[in-house]
Amino acid sequence: MTLAYDSMEIYEQCFISPSSASATHFSLPLTFFDLIWLRFHPVERIFFYPLPLPHSNPSFFFHKVLPNLKTSLSSTLQHFPPLAGKIIWPSHSGKPFIQFNPGDGVLLVLAQCNDDAKFNHSLDNSPRDASESRSLVPHLESSDSHASVMSLQITFFPNKGFSIGINSHHAVLDGKSSTMFIKAWAYACKSCEDESLNPELEPLFDRDLIKDPTGLETAIINTWAKMASQIDPSDTSNGRSLKIMSLPTQENLVRATFDLKRGDLEKIKKRVLSKWELVGEETVSGFSKPTTLSTFVACCAYVSVCIAKATHEAKNGDKFCLAFTADCRARLEPPIPENYFGNCVASHIVDTEPHDFIKEDGMVVVAMRIWSKTKMLEKGLTEGIDTVIPRFAAMLRKGFKGIGVSGSNRFGVYETDFGWGKPAKVEITSIDRGLTIGLAETKEEKGGVEVGLALNKHVMDLFQEIFYEGLCMD
């Protein structure tokens, strides 16, 4: 069936199953790292690929590019069977789990956009209507009884290129696992490999690596049940619903991308360290002043302060908080392999005062607090992680403007080549569901960070002014 709306035409919706005829029943437990995200909104990302004219004409695309993408997706799912399955929660089970049965598959939407300007516009970093990207990302099914793990959409732009939109359930994949899958798919497509993957792309499903001596799984399940009844008093699922509590997309937002070059980041780091003793103690939470700061700390401090200043309204006495996730693979004791598939990230709220973000030296204060929190992870990695989401939600109810962080400059998303070149643009579409900083590495320069934002048009104008003005300061 062909559906058309605006300049988009959806001409096929199909399910792609693992190609191996021997694909068998597969189930996978959810750890406490996974359960934290059980009903959290999914992560949506779009990869944009320009194609040269001979490859971007409809005949070549539909007879060469698209078949390769579909065949390689099927072969890749042999290695990632959970992605073709569903999250279920049978009455006999104390917690939900992932189940794949033969015949299950990933929903793949195939579409065509006949608006040439839309593709070019999507590659531009300047502000554009945030809702433009929505038609390039497929829906992810969820209900009380089950939730799909992943859905994909390939959209062809005649004589321009194509995009791949990925919608993934956060309770199954963190950013590293999602990126590993998309890179494995690209590897299979480019190399025409049906069976083998590079070792670093081969997922490890061993759940015994994640220990839960303090009963975090039970605590998190109980927390979700409590939150469900608070949000919807009519909920009769007794906390066992798997329906995603998806925040609505914000209205009247524009989406834009900003580059923090390596030189910009070094300037920010030096500025923070030069004022370390002036705005605080030489030690923060028992740690001595560092000799340098990470790119993550510098970037998040600078961007979050720019956001706070742009959104701040003095008459309302705005208060701000910042939450971020930290990859725990290398931090666990003992460490677990980098190719562990599933969630292995912990969320934390930065210990800032509500008005630190808009102080004269707010960037320095916030950077110090982010750095301090990352250092404290070395002592208590999982401490309090079962309460982070309800605490963050409670702060929002109290009038705090919560700033989140999605993605990472370490994922290497711009290295994802399906055989027709690297992506010209990668965006985290789901940042428009909250005040969220989307991170990726810069395309052109090693060591830089690409920052994606979706803000009100007026706020975006102020943010741009504050952002670039701050980078010009000595």
CATH code, domain with 370: 3.30.559.10
| Same domain for 223 and 258 | no
Q: Which amino acid is at 147?
A: A
Helices assigned H by DSSP within 354-451: 362-376, 388-397
> DSSP code of 142?
B
Q: Are residues 221 and 348 in the same domain?
A: no
Instruction: Decide if 246 is inside a domain.
Output: no
Per the residue annotation, which of 41, 79, 169, 170 is the catalytic one?
170
Least confident of 168-177, 353-362, 409-418: 353-362
pTM for this prediction? 0.95
pLDDT tens digits, 254-268:
999 999 999 999 999
Q: In the listed set 197, 231, 265, which residue is the last one of a domain according to the structure? A: 231
Nearest of 307, 289, 297 to residue 436 by alpha carbon? 307
Which residues span the domain enclosing 278? Answer: 253-472
Q: Is the pLDDT of residue 376 over 60?
A: yes
Is residue 270 in a domain?
Answer: yes
Q: Per mean pLDDT, which range of 133-142, 225-234, 462-471 is the poorest?
A: 225-234
Catalytic residue among 115, 318, 327, 417: 417
Q: Is the same domain home to 292 and 378? A: yes
If asked whether residues 155 and 304 sit together in one domain, one would say: no
- pLDDT score of 146: 96
- Percent of the chain scoring above 90 in pLDDT: 73
What is the pLDDT of the chain when averaged over all its residues? 91
Mean pLDDT of 174-199: 91
In the three-class reduction of DSSP (H, G, I as helix; E, B as strand; rest coil), residue 253 is classed as strand
247: left (phi over 0), alpha (psi -120 to 50) or beta: beta
**What's the farthest any 2 CA atoms get from each other in the chain?**
66
Mean pLDDT, residues 133-152 taken together = 96
State the Cα–Cα distance between residues 232 and 234, nearest whole angstrom: 5
pLDDT of residue 2: 42
Q: What is the dihedral of CA 267, 440, 452, 374, to 10 degrees?
A: -60
Q: Are residues 268 and 132 in the same domain?
A: no
Local structure of residue 376 (DSSP, 8 states): H
Domain assignment of residue 247, yes or no? no
**272 and 226 together in one domain:** no
Query: What is the distance between the alpha carbons of residues 290 and 276, in angstroms, rounded to a whole number?
Result: 10
DSSP assignment, residue 157? E
What angle is formed at CA 108 by the lines to CA 243 and CA 183, rounded to 5 degrees?
Answer: 95
Q: How many domains does the chain have?
A: 2
Q: What is the pLDDT of residue 21?
A: 58
For residue 284, how many other CB atoms are within 10 A of its CB?
A: 19
Q: Is 86 helix (H, G, I), strand (E, B) or coil?
A: strand
Residue 21 lies in a domain: yes
Intra-chain end-to-end CA distance of the chain, in Å: 59
The answer to whether residues 113 and 260 belong to one domain is no
**Overall average pLDDT of the 257-281 stretch:** 92
pLDDT at 282: 58
pLDDT bucket at 456, cuts 50 / 70 / 90: very high
34 CB neighbour count, 10 Å cutoff: 28
Shared domain for 140 and 86, answered yes or no, is: yes
417 catalytic, yes or no?
Answer: yes
Measured CA to CA, the distance from residue 57 to residue 335 in angstroms comes to 48
Within-domain flag for 248? no
Q: Which of 166, 199, 231 is the last residue of a domain?
A: 231
Question: Which residue from 81, 450, 82 is spatially nearest to 295, judged by alpha carbons?
Answer: 450
Identify the residue with better confidence: 13 or 117: 13
**Residues of the chain above pLDDT 70, percent:** 95
What pLDDT shows up at residue 253?
96
Higher pLDDT, 268 or 383: 268
Residue type, 9: E
Chain centre distance of CA 10? 25
- Tell me, yes or no, whether 184 and 35 share the same domain: yes
Q: Is 282 part of a structural domain of the chain? A: yes
pLDDT recorded at residue 5: 44
Is 312 one of the catalytic residues? no
Range scoring the smallest mean pLDDT among 6-10, 40-44, 372-376: 6-10
pLDDT at 80 over 60: yes
- Say whether both 397 and 442 belong to one domain: yes
pLDDT tens digits, 333-371: 899 999 999 999 999 999 888 889 999 899 999 999 999
Q: What is the mean pLDDT of residues 193-201?
A: 83
Q: What is the pLDDT of residues 414-441, one digit of tens each?
A: 999 999 999 999 999 999 999 999 999 9
